[in-house]
Structure 1
Amino acid sequence: MLDVIAVTAPIFIIMAIGYAAVRADLLAKAELRALGKFVINFALPALILKALSQRPIAEILNVPYLAVYALGSVTVMLGGVAVAYFIRRRSLPVSALYGTGMAFPNSGFIGYPIVLQVLGAPGLVALTLTMIVENMVLMPLAILLMESRAGSGDKAYRVALAAFARLFRSPIILAIVAGFLLASFDLHPPAPVARVIDMLAAASGAVALFVIGGNLVGLEVKGMFGDVALIMVGKLLLHPLAVFAALQLVPAFDPTLQRAAVMFACSPMMSIYPILGQKYGQEGFCSAALMATTTASFVTISSFLWLIEASGYFAR
């Protein structure tokens, strides 16, 4: 267990430093947005491009991984929507927020630094595969559910098209496409370009964690414990368990990537979760869920890592 904590503790220490920096007014929360945009628009795309361009196409186009992660994540998302809509009696957009919080992890900011420490270079491939599912499956589905209304099929259709149009303007999606092209034709960037990509990619982990920690300042959970707890259980427990269950339904593949799939699912929800909730007046609730889930993830991630190592399941 101490070995596991040695892996996860640095991740949360960097987040604590970000929190302390904002709390001590060394940085304003508004200034963190620029750092977050740097990670999303430059560092993470560089990381993905590096991962894809350095490996053969057969290695990075892992269909079983994509199927497992998509099946586990979509199951949890739709389950969360159903519970919120039919049991908690929330509107469809708000119910979609519940499902998104349960199934959409912070793979780039929290999941990747942990996976990289535990698994090394294969974590880059797993990150790319995870982001393909997130951006090509989960995000369009989330937007479709949040923007749709009963009986408005045409609107749902237009929303889906608009969602995909926005996705293909995303630097992350462009990096995925460029990386697949380079890998398909066995091409490599010139040495100076490759060096720039390496430098940008190296900045992603620490900066991302710092931003997450700083954004937790001022968030509160008061009066929302029941709904927040529901999302916490869905994200930190049900999501990794659903991905693990999905592994039992597909032919065996690389055990390292199997571990990575479960580890990414252990991450708390994405950092832009409160931004998604703004349109529906749920930014306070989403912020509270983000804070509580991110804080609790230190315990749950460490516990899942310990279970993975202690059981030896993925070493078979």
Structure 2
Amino acid sequence: MSALLDVILPVFLVIGFGYAAVRAGFLAEPAVDGLMRFAQNFAVPCLLFRSIAQLDLSAAYNAGLMTSFYTGAFAGFFACFLGAMLVFRRAMPDAVSIGFAGLFSNSLLLGLAITERAYGTQALQGNYAIISLHAPMLYGFGIALMEWARTRGHGLSAPALLRQIGRAILSQSLVIGILLGFAVNLAGNPLPGFFWSGIDMIAKSAIPVALFGLGGVLVRYRIEGDIGPVLMVTFASLILHPGVTWLLATQVFHLATPELRSAVVTAAMAPGVNAYMFAHMYGVGKRVNASAVLVATAASILTAWGWLHLLP
């Protein structure tokens, strides 16, 4: 019970404050958009930049950690993609969008916040290693598959498709922050102390502002129809992904406790708002992904508690 009260509920309380503020009219939706733009385009990239720049790269990138987490992620994708096509008879672009919701867990806003509250800031090295590949790899995969699904028979050349994918990935502010962090890290961190002091001030605001803004964004979503696909995405995100990750981490790779915690907690998070943004970007699967974000985020209060109890 202490894990629920001390670790999980404070995170969702911040989300709830944002939801209540917008729902009650104390904060207008354009103000929420401004908060989320600040968080996603400035504060969170600064947090990732600082974390990657100061990360011990040789210690952070554990092959077992990455394989456990991303095997679970792609298991979630293919379960939702094939389920959407074969069970719910969706067109391929819709299936790719729904599969993306089962693939892209909220590793940043929820995963970081819950891991930090449960195990402390010193436990986040594995989280940052996962996050450094999360957006570039999964957006690259999703965009490539969606562009292929949309352009089949239209004769789009491989170089043109690769350029399209590259532009889409490199336009993400989170990816820019990660790449700059790697550049500074590999250069031996030559930046002066006053620079890091400024970055720290912005980075410290990232998680609380983003969680509050996430609550405000969730007001827009409605649980509308498509209950089958929504429950499928919720199961893939909250049970299948962390289940595969836990099984590989404990039975195959025998990860040390810090890596096991980072992998499973991150895998156990609900789909992020990026799942809806991806669907909105292509105009397919929007209702399913929006509903799945809302349902899975609410359900993860209990499922995350359960996964924390399984971890040492």
For the criterion TM > 0.5, the same-fold answer is yes
Partner residue in 2 for 1:300: 303
What per-residue deviation string (whole Å, max 9, x for no partner) do you get for residues 46-75 of structure 1? 112222233333123333322222222122
Partner residue in 1 for 2:205: 203
CA shift, 1:299, in A, is 1.0
RMSD across aligned C-alpha pairs, in angstroms? 2.2
CA shift, 1:262, in A, is 0.7
Show structure 1 runs of 4+ deviating over 6 A: none
Contact 1:144 1:156 (8 Å CA) reproduced: no
User: Against the structure 1 CA distance between its residues 156 and 115, is the aligned structure 2 distance closer, same or farther, given a 3 Å change threshold?
Assistant: farther
Secondary structure at the counterpart of residue 223 of structure 2: coil
Q: 2:294 aligns with which of 291, 294, 312?
A: 291
Partner residue in 1 for 2:40: 40
User: Against the structure 1 CA distance between its residues 218 and 231, is the aligned structure 2 distance closer, same or farther, given a 3 Å change threshold?
Assistant: same
User: Against the structure 1 CA distance between its residues 140 and 259, is the aligned structure 2 distance closer, same or farther, given a 3 Å change threshold?
Assistant: same
User: Against the structure 1 CA distance between its residues 169 and 225, is the aligned structure 2 distance closer, same or farther, given a 3 Å change threshold?
Assistant: closer
User: Against the structure 1 CA distance between its residues 283 and 83, is the aligned structure 2 distance closer, same or farther, given a 3 Å change threshold?
Assistant: closer
Contact 2:79 2:236 (8 Å CA) reproduced: no
Q: 2:224 aligns with which of 214, 222, 225?
A: 222
Partner residue in 2 for 1:235: 237
Partner residue in 1 for 2:105: 105
What per-residue deviation string (whole Å, max 9, x for no partner) do you get for residues 112-161 of structure 1? 11111122234442332222332232111111222223456745663343
Partner residue in 2 for 1:84: 84
CA distance in 2, matches of 1:78, 1:275: 20
* More divergent stretch after superposition (280-289 vs 7-16): 280-289
Contact 2:242 2:265 (8 Å CA) reproduced: yes
User: Against the structure 1 CA distance between its residues 202 and 17, is the aligned structure 2 distance closer, same or farther, given a 3 Å change threshold?
Assistant: same
Partner residue in 1 for 2:56: 56
Partner residue in 2 for 1:194: 196
Contact 2:124 2:262 (8 Å CA) reproduced: no
Contact 2:52 2:132 (8 Å CA) reproduced: no
Secondary structure at the counterpart of residue 89 of structure 1: coil
Please list every run of 5 or more consecutive structure 1 residues that lacks an aligned counterpart in the other structure: none
Partner residue in 2 for 1:275: 277
CA shift, 1:303, in A, is 1.4
Secondary structure at the counterpart of residue 90 of structure 2: coil
Contact 2:40 2:174 (8 Å CA) reproduced: yes
Partner residue in 2 for 1:165: 167
Q: Which amino acid aligns with 2:209?
A: V
CA distance in 1, matches of 2:171, 2:283: 24
CA distance in 1, matches of 2:153, 2:251: 35
**Which residues of 2 match residues 16-31 of structure 1 at below 5 A?**
16-31=16-31
Q: Which amino acid aligns with 1:229?
A: L
User: Against the structure 1 CA distance between its residues 83 and 241, is the aligned structure 2 distance closer, same or farther, given a 3 Å change threshold?
Assistant: same
% same residue = 25
* More divergent stretch after superposition (87-96 vs 48-57): 48-57
How many residues of Structure 1 are paired with residues of Structure 2 in the alignment? Answer: 309
Secondary structure at the counterpart of residue 55 of structure 1: coil
Using the size of structure 2 for normalisation, the TM-score is 0.90
* More divergent stretch after superposition (86-95 vs 46-55): 46-55
Contact 1:101 1:273 (8 Å CA) reproduced: yes
Secondary structure at the counterpart of residue 187 of structure 1: coil
